[in-house]
Amino acid sequence: IYNDVKIEALAEALLENETVTTLGVVDKDGGILGIVVRKELFDLLGQQFGRDLFRHKTVAKIIRDVPRFNFNRNLFSVSEEISEYTAKKTMQYFLLTIGNTFMGIFSTRDMMYYLSDMTTRDLNLAKRLQRSIVKEESILNGDTFNILGASHMAKGVGGDFYHFARYAPQKYVLSVFDVSGKGISASLISTIIGGMVQFHDFNNGIQPFVKKLNNYITITFELEKFITGVILDFDETNGTVTIHDMGHAYIYIFRNGKLHRIRTNRRTIPIGIQPELISEGVPFQMAKDDIILLLTDGVEEQPNEHGEEYGIRRLANILQLNRHRGLMKMKNELLYNHHKFRHTQPQYDDITMVMLEYTG
């Protein structure tokens, strides 16, 4: 609207256009002067003698000056600049201009809606990308073994990662990693791990991989992020497993109907908390029908509405009840029981597991 429009005429026009909340005010040359906010106008007219006082006055008397931004400014630079307004959670309007020419109006609400929508789209893309790297479920069967891996993220994306593959005739590498933190930042690091695992030649050993990953995480994140993990080097010909534990500890053996934690008796240090890290493998001999279970802490530490954790006892019970029904059934029953246990509580953390069954 022009600045010489009568306030009374503007009020009548706004009553016929209920969707209009804010207007830009310009002079006869189109130069921007400020804005008029519908609510503020009617609050003014609603005061005692308000209509009589402002009936014959022009819009120029009620113009509000607000911050201005160039129409061609980068959206993210603007969002950072107005963050103090969005943090207050009160409606604030801004003018868009080119030179002194009026181009439009936007508000903190507009910015928050747009950024929220963009974040949702980016999050969905991140989910798809991570799911292409960390599958919800993977299976590998051999003559003397069966391997199953599964992962369920607490926030759609997260910092858990698992992997298993054959790297030489009758030799397999299995791993589980848990990045500190949750959400997109943790998922970025798990994606990095996925890329490094895929391209490392494990014929050269596990120690070089651990050293390379530790160096990268330490230098890149400067001790702000760390990773716990465990890598198994499995020989299917005799059931020998070499365990490399990097501060993880959630390593179990299910043998003769009982679940035991495997302790390597070595001082284990997570990846990314000191410049030099040497992983010393610990040998372990599997027997026929043994199952090695690698977990992340989201399984055991999940609380219910009473603050009680899921714990090792419930995990062992599920394995005992479903031992002869196969790894898939064991995994499904564990996840179902875990979900039932937490009831109304949200999933506390990412849940990831790898199960290695030796049948030789």
Confidence of residue 162 (pLDDT cuts 50, 70, 90): very high
Q: How far is CA 92 from CA 1, 45, 82, 112, 115, in A?
A: 20, 21, 9, 12, 16
CA distance 80 to 132: 32
Lowest mean pLDDT among 16-20, 73-77, 171-175: 73-77
Write out the two tokens for 185.
Answer: 């930042």
Give all strands (DSSP E) within 268-309, no chain letters: 282-285, 291-295
CA distance 357 to 254: 9
Model confidence at 32: pLDDT above 90:
yes
CA distance 247 to 112: 41
In this prediction, residue 218 carries a pLDDT of 92
CA distance 126 to 105: 32
CA distance 152 to 154: 7
321, 324, 328, 334: CA torsion to nearest 10: 10
Q: What is the pLDDT of residues 112-130, one digit of tens each?
A: 888 888 878 877 777 777 7
Q: How far is CA 213 from CA 158, 200, 276, 343, in A?
A: 19, 10, 11, 38
CA distance 294 to 355: 6
For the chain, where are the alpha helices, taking DSSP H only?
A: 7-16, 38-45, 50-54, 75-81, 83-88, 108-133, 183-199, 207-221, 311-322, 327-342
Q: What is the pLDDT of residues 185-201, one digit of tens each?
A: 888 888 889 999 989 99
Model confidence at 326: pLDDT above 90:
yes
Q: What is the identity of the amino acid at 124?
A: N
CA 131 to chain centre: 12
Q: What is the pLDDT of residues 219-264, one digit of tens each?
A: 998 878 899 999 999 999 999 999 999 999 899 999 999 999 998 8
In this prediction, residue 41 carries a pLDDT of 92
CA distance 150 to 332: 10
- The H or E element spanning position 54 is helix 50-54
Backbone Cα Rg of the chain: 31
In this prediction, residue 227 carries a pLDDT of 95
Q: What is the mean pLDDT of residues 208-215?
A: 94
Buried b (16+ CB within 10 A) or exposed e, 55-72: eeebbeebeeebeebeee
Write out the two tokens for 158.
Answer: 């997260």
Q: What is the identity of the amino acid at 287?
A: A
Closest CA relative to residue 233, chosen from 195, 279, 283: 283
Q: What is the pLDDT of residues 94-109, one digit of tens each?
A: 999 999 999 999 999 9
